[in-house]
Amino acid sequence: MQRDKFFKEIENVRHPNETLIKTHCAYCGMQCGMNLRVNTQTNKIVGVEPRYDWPVNVGKMCPKGVTAYQQTNHDDRILKPLIRDDASLKGTTKGFREASWDEAYDLVASKFKELQDQYGKDSLSVFSGVSMTNEKCYLTGKFARVAMQTRYIDYNGRFCMSSAAGGFLRSFGVDRGSTLPWTDIHETDCLFIAGSNTAECHPTSMFRVWHVQERGGYLIVADPRETPIARRADVHLDLRPGTDLALANGILNLLIQNGYADEEFVNDHTNGFEETKELVKEFTPEYTSELTGVSPEKIIRAAEIYGKAPNAIVMFARGIEQQHKGVDNVSAYTNMALVTGKIGRPKAGVATFTGQGNGQGGREHGQKSDLLPGYRKLTNPKHVEEVCQVWGITPEEMPQPGVSAYEMFELMEEKTIRGLYLLCSNPAVSAPNQNFVRKALKGLDFMVCSDFYLSESAEYADVILPSVTWSEDEGTVTNLEGRIIKINKAQEPIGESKPDWQIQVELAEKLGRGKYFSHLKTASDVADEFRLASKGGYADYYGATWDKIDKQDGVFWPCRDENDPGTPHMFLDKKFYHPDGKAKICALPYRPPAEEPNEEYPLRLTTGRVVFHYLSGNQTRRIQFLRDMCPEPYVEVHPETAAKYHIEHEERVRLFSRRGEAVYKVKITEAIRKDTVFVPYHFGHEQSINLLTIPALDPISRMPEFKACAAQIEKLEMKKVQ
């Protein structure tokens, strides 16, 4: 049991006729521990009780976590498979009829076969997500390649964690979201947080963040908006959206110029320093200020604090990653830690705030177009060989790498991909350039969607398979620390819903590939095969048994065998994962955002989350409390900008970009840059801000640039004459 100063021995309240099932939240990467209250007479989930003894959040939860239990027995749950015979109704909620599982499976199998017979194996695709257990993520990768035999599989992590993954792989040779456990955060001396609205997106980190300041430590926040965390920052670097790379280079330059580089560490454990030093020379405080819009004084002060701090942690999130240079941004901020040697020891390191519950685990085990379990590569024959042995197929049968999430929609549009199996994701809200994406979905010959609510994306499906919520299945997820934890089942699936792993095992049978799946009868069977498939990879989960997870309060990967306790701190031996054991300091030339403002589109549009909703909002928009708190999107505008457009608070305006438009209520606040507007992205249909966002992709991670594009506001209402 890891007990820090926030840990308090508290006994849980037990209500009459109720039992508590310990588990974790359904939503973000914090994966807060919680207890679900289950009525012992009805065997239904009825509420939540804090899990005070979970070391990461010690009972704390954000409002999403507190109300998460309301998803399970919600009136909107899909209870039976649904079939829509009239394809002309695609894109609406109309025309679905209830069907038996057999009829639904048979229809899916025959349509898949029809398409593959006519257009080849690769005419089918899988689009999945990482808000589900490692077991499901693993099996989805196997299902695509072994049961559907297609190369086209990718997942919503491309809109979430792929830039962090790409940056860490380049800098460290390994992609574990945090180099240290979250219980180190409050003990460090300086937090440098870039592009993370921590208080709204990972709220249960906040008691640790504030404690750094309470101890006299420093908080530096880089964000175009004065978010609730930036409000209290010692230095708020209020940069223009999409200019992080310049800021990171500018700070690195100052760190080097002012003697904060740790020469011994740089020499012994890194490559690339000299070249990087040369490149960042150009980024003087004045030049950096010109590019970023942050005053030179603030840049100098931030560098001084980070440089002086005995221990410091650099943290970041989607703000820097959802750019068409997201990977460069990650490596550039990571450079700060590598050059100053503030890494590879407790209380110092680098971390990204993982967005989705299993954003870490879900990207490691083969849902990505080019990856296989254990972070193995499809392009590496040895890796393919290893996985084939577990799967019982030959390397010749293993499909080639496919394409990234957004590029799959392009292939749908041009009819290379004709069929889609969508699960655990809602791209009709979350993908950029919605007008294009929705057209691509509508044009599919056949689409099957597995979900527990009828999402905006499910509106494009021919068949909907009812899956279960997180509380009706068990398995592991990997939280934002890299800690593998256990989700427990609190009630039986309602109606005829089934967990996705079971759906895949049964559907594989119908596709004539049953022999590769039929031995998987329980989630724990899938877990055993999954651990084996990861064995020997970078992300080795072999030693992370459910039993050990329970005993140790989670297991940090890598965990290679039964006796390995796991790895809470990475790089304590100063060994990185590149072949020569060194980390890479990266020389990264600055590039502006793909679309810069001009006269026609003078505003910078950026998007993000609010504390009350999660991702596409398919889950949280249905929870009464969360909907009451934030019923609709809005556009945040600085009062001076609002005055220029003669628009007022709560007035509805038209916001548009080169790709699309939407109407939003104005929310006036000084807590945003004058050249920037912000809209939360959790809303669907005509309210979706992704109608406007740009599909400019990062060359490595294929992450779209959600965080910066050019837009314009048009006033709709004429002021009433009194």
Q: Measure the CA–CA gap between 284 and 257, rounded to whole angstroms.
A: 10
SS3 string, 420-443, reads EEEECCCHHHHCCCHHHHHHHHHC
From the list 163-171, 308-316, 542-550, 576-584, the region that binds other proteins by CB under 8 A is 308-316
From the list 108-116, 130-138, 225-233, 484-492, the region that binds other proteins by CB under 8 A is 225-233
Cross-strand pairs, 39: 18, 44
Residue closer to ligand SF4 by CB (options 193, 336) is 193
Interface residues with ligand SF4 (CB under 6 A) are: 25, 27-28, 30-32, 61-62, 64-65, 202-204
Residue type, 282: E
Binding residue for other proteins (CB under 8 A) from 109, 206, 532, 663? 206
Rounded least distance, CB 66 to ligand SF4, Å: 7
Partner whose binding site includes residue 25, from other proteins, ligand SF4, none (CB under 5 to 8 Å by kind): ligand SF4
Q: Measure the CA–CA gap between 57 and 48, rounded to whole angstroms.
A: 15
Binding residue for other proteins (CB under 8 A) from 94, 231, 439, 665? 231
Rounded least distance, CB 26 to other proteins, Å: 14
Check: CB of residue 177 under 8 Å from CB of residue 164.
Answer: yes
Contacts of 260 by beta carbon, 8 Å cutoff, 6+ apart: 303, 306, 307, 308, 339, 340
Does the footprint of other proteins cover residue 566 (CB under 8 A)?
Answer: no
Does the footprint of other proteins cover residue 308 (CB under 8 A)?
Answer: yes
Does the footprint of other proteins cover residue 67 (CB under 8 A)?
Answer: yes
Length of the chain: 722
Identify the DSSP state of 658.
Answer: S
Check: CB of residue 424 under 8 Å from CB of residue 129.
Answer: yes
Q: Measure the CA–CA gap between 556 and 577, rounded to whole angstroms.
A: 17
Rounded least distance, CB 258 to other proteins, Å: 15
Residue closer to other proteins by CB (options 195, 272) is 195
Phi then psi for 442, rounded to 5 degrees?
Answer: -65, -30
Does the footprint of other proteins cover residue 650 (CB under 8 A)?
Answer: no
Closest to 148 measured CA to CA, from 174, 184, 121: 121
Partner whose binding site includes residue 27, from ligand SF4, other proteins, none (CB under 5 to 8 Å by kind): ligand SF4
Residue closer to other proteins by CB (options 59, 537) is 59
Residue closer to ligand SF4 by CB (options 65, 326) is 65
Partner whose binding site includes residue 668, from other proteins, ligand SF4, none (CB under 5 to 8 Å by kind): other proteins
Rounded least distance, CB 611 to ligand SF4, Å: 8
Residue with nearest beta carbon to ligand SF4: 65
Radius of gyration of the chain (CA): 25
Does the footprint of other proteins cover residue 36 (CB under 8 A)?
Answer: no
Partner whose binding site includes residue 600, from ligand SF4, other proteins, none (CB under 5 to 8 Å by kind): none
Q: Measure the CA–CA gap between 4 and 57, rounded to whole angstroms.
A: 11
Residue closer to ligand SF4 by CB (options 31, 358) is 31
Rounded least distance, CB 660 to ligand SF4, Å: 29
Rounded least distance, CB 528 to ligand SF4, Å: 27
Q: Measure the CA–CA gap between 561 and 544, rounded to whole angstroms.
A: 8
Does the footprint of other proteins cover residue 49 (CB under 8 A)?
Answer: yes
Identify the DSSP state of 147.
Answer: I
Closest to 465 measured CA to CA, from 503, 408, 501, 427: 503
Closest to 328 measured CA to CA, from 366, 372, 280, 266: 280
Does the footprint of other proteins cover residue 540 (CB under 8 A)?
Answer: no
Rounded least distance, CB 30 to ligand SF4, Å: 4
104: its two tokens: 């639904």
Rounded least distance, CB 254 to other proteins, Å: 17
Does the footprint of other proteins cover residue 640 (CB under 8 A)?
Answer: no
Q: Measure the CA–CA gap between 85 and 530, rounded to whole angstroms.
A: 37
Please tell me the number of Cα atoms within 13 Å of 90 on its side-chain side.
21
3-state secondary structure of 30: coil
Identify the DSSP state of 143.
Answer: I
Binding residue for other proteins (CB under 8 A) from 316, 612, 656, 664? 612
Q: Nearest 10 degrees: CA dihedral of 132, 138, 141, 146? A: -130
Label residue 559 left, alpha or beta by phi (over 0 means left) and psi (-120 to 50 means alpha).
beta
Partner whose binding site includes residue 31, from ligand SF4, other proteins, none (CB under 5 to 8 Å by kind): ligand SF4
Rounded least distance, CB 479 to other proteins, Å: 16
Does the footprint of other proteins cover residue 456 (CB under 8 A)?
Answer: no
From the list 123-131, 207-215, 258-266, 357-365, the region that binds other proteins by CB under 8 A is 207-215
- Write out the residues near other proteins by the rule CB under 8 A: 10-13, 15, 47-50, 52, 57, 59-63, 65-67, 189, 199-200, 203-207, 210-211, 213-218, 226-229, 231-232, 308-310, 611-612, 625, 629, 639, 649, 668-671
